[in-house]
Amino acid sequence: MAGNRATLLIMAGDGIGPEVLAESRRIAEWFILRRGLAAVLTEELFGLAAYRKHGRLLGEDALPRMRAADAILFGATGGLSFAELPPEVGKSDSLLRIRKALDLYANLRPIKALPALAEASTLKARAREGTDLVIVRELSSGIYFGEPRGVETLPDGRRRGINTHSYTSDEIERVARVAFELARKRRNHVTSVDKANVMEAGKLWREVVEALHDADYADVGLSHMLADNCAMQLVRAPHQFDVLLTDNLFGDLLSDGAAMIAGSLGMLPSASLGPVGPDGRRSALYEPVHGSAPDIAGRGIANPLGAILSLALALEWSLGRPADARLLESAVARALDEGARTADIMHAGAKQVSTRGMGDAVLASLERLARG
């Protein structure tokens, strides 16, 4: 906190990150000016811009500033220009390192089927209609962090890549608690996703989730689903899901596939949450699900709505402003209802706008909604 004001740390990152985060910043400034949001906006370099200035992707003071922030608004990382980095730099300062250092173990990815984007989705309207789900993805363990890992050369000259899929019972339990608690505030059902039929870690996952449910969350509906079946069900009948609980790898894959329910990967926000400390605070990073998209960076055509909706998640989860979160979500829906479209969600009869133009449309909707 800066005095009695929350600190929002903006880390735009690479590729289209600076473009979409510029729109999030404009909207955060609107809430400060027009809704009395007590927050101060600060910035920190990350990615290639930081490397070119500091010789590393993450400056020496960056992690302490991230730990001190009430919420981090993050843009994107990676891209073709990363080829200029020494391998040791990319490994030591990666987004995975940030997640581990801040213990961001629970990743929330809400996915809604907005009626205005029916034509943007490849799914039939009757399949996506009424879908409103949240994927709760374990984010700081699993195959992305397991040891041993690496590439080795065998005695006969062949090369072998190794990654270890590993979970402990406490790592599973704490993310499952997030899913069950969230379900209690929604439609009260969790679908836990695993591959218990072929993976020992999947068997443990299912056992721990079931035991936690029986002990502390018997009032919440629980079902288990194999990950491959879940992938099919997400495109067959996604409206059946309320909260999907997944490990790190499955959550990564399934959420990108589920983006077509919303109409585009550019529509998806996320919240990465750490544990709540004794003072009631937690580290939290908010970012659109899309990547750095270097092929369109600098062209002003990126969809900023995933980043803007990530700000809505920050208003709800870190800033104690759920009413403002709902207001921002309504403004996004209204801008889309009125026909504003970036290239990724464009269709006949709509009005294509730039990245900034979409920000303008959301701001105009906020003004109208605020006036009642």
Q: What amino acid positions are annotated as catalytic residues?
A: 144, 195, 228, 252, 256
- Give how far the C-alpha of residue 80 lies from the chain's centroid of Cα atoms, to the nearest Å: 22
Q: Is the peptide bond before 148 cis (omega within 30 degrees of 0)?
A: yes
Within 10 angstroms of residue 295's Cβ, the number of other Cβ atoms is 10
Residue 351 CB partners (closer than 8 Å, separation 6+): 339, 340, 341
| Radius of gyration for the alpha carbons in the chain, expressed in angstroms and rounded | 21
Contact by Cβ (8 Å): 44, 68: no
Position 11, amino acid: M
DSSP state of 58: B
Contacts of 8 (CB under 8 A, 6+ apart): 28, 39, 40, 41, 42, 69, 70, 71, 72, 73, 314
d(CA 341, CA 338): 9
Rounded Cα distance, 307 and 47, in Å:
18
Q: How far apart are CA 316 and CA 247, in angstroms?
A: 24
